[in-house]
Amino acid sequence: MQKLLVMAIMLVLATPGCLDSFRESLVSCDNINGGCRYEILRGNEYSRLHIEVNYVTGNSPDSDALNLLKQRIKEVTDKSTVTVSQSSFGSTDNSYTLEEILALESSERTEFKSGNTFVVHILYLNGEYSDNNQALGIAYSGTSFVLFKEKIEDAAFLLISSKDIEKAVIVHEFGHLLGLVNNGYQSPHDHEDPDHPHHSNNEESVMYWAIESQDIANQLDGEPPNNFDSYDLDDLSLMKQGKL
């Protein structure tokens, strides 16, 4: 670490003209939602993707939802391998602020990008998000998102199971890590909902805003979509090619 720092300082001193790009590489993509889209989508820098899940006891992820997420990752990224690990922790809280969510990630998360493996972190919490009790999930950094398992269970209705909702929400939040929609890039397609920034205006896209809202039942006619639409997929493809 010490050695790296010394080298870093020397590099800054040696190449003042490159300071900006050097700073950029020091500021990790992890800090910006959508900021890690290239690292996640492409296979050249990180050929493998690992998903670490930490869940509050009793709020474990649905295995079909995790499998679907793995499938979607294989479909839209160039990763050769996608793996998952999960572990539980106790919590006495039932309403979480963003600060508390960040603190939980930092106390529970054990895996970070290293070598050829990029790591995405998912928190599964009980209770609700204190700033918006309608939230089923939130993507809050470049590599992390949270799902509110009890809220997802509460959002189930007549013919739509909580499992179907969880499958949609987990792919939706992952989509935000990829920058969808128009987060850090500008799509050639007109598919961002002006009333819900960074969401699709197509209710058949998993990036439709209501997917992550408890109001999902009132906003959708049938089963929630759990796949990207053609515009989402085109954006992702253009990003991978370096055209966006």
Task: Judge whether 241 and 225 are in contact, CB under 8 Å.
Answer: no
Residue 128, interface with Zn ion (CB under 5 A)? no
Whole-number minimum distance, CB 98 to Zn ion, in Å?
15
Q: Where are the alpha helices (DSSP H) in the chain?
A: 2-14, 19-26, 37-41, 63-76, 98-108, 149-155, 162-177, 216-219, 230-240
Residue 192, interface with Zn ion (CB under 5 A)? no
Q: Phi/psi of residue 202, each to 5°?
A: -100, 115
Question: What is the footprint of Zn ion within residues 216-235 (CB under 5 A)?
Answer: none
Residue 193, interface with Zn ion (CB under 5 A)? no
Q: Can you say whether the dihedral through the CA atoms of 179, 181, 185, 187 is positive or negative?
A: positive
Residue 212, interface with Zn ion (CB under 5 A)? yes
> In the complex, which residue's CB is closest to Zn ion?
212
Q: Which is nearer to Zn ion, 46 or 169 (CB)?
A: 169
Whole-number minimum distance, CB 172 to Zn ion, in Å?
6
Q: Which is nearer to Zn ion, 62 or 212 (CB)?
A: 212
Residue 52, interface with Zn ion (CB under 5 A)? no
CA distance linking residue 153 with residue 197, whole number of Å: 26
Task: Judge whether 105 and 121 are in contact, CB under 8 Å.
Answer: yes
Q: Which is nearer to Zn ion, 38 or 209 (CB)?
A: 209
Pairing of strands 144-148, 137-139: antiparallel
Q: Which is nearer to Zn ion, 216 or 244 (CB)?
A: 216
Q: Which is nearer to Zn ion, 104 or 147 (CB)?
A: 147
Provide the binding-site residues for Zn ion, judged by CB under 5 A. Answer: 212
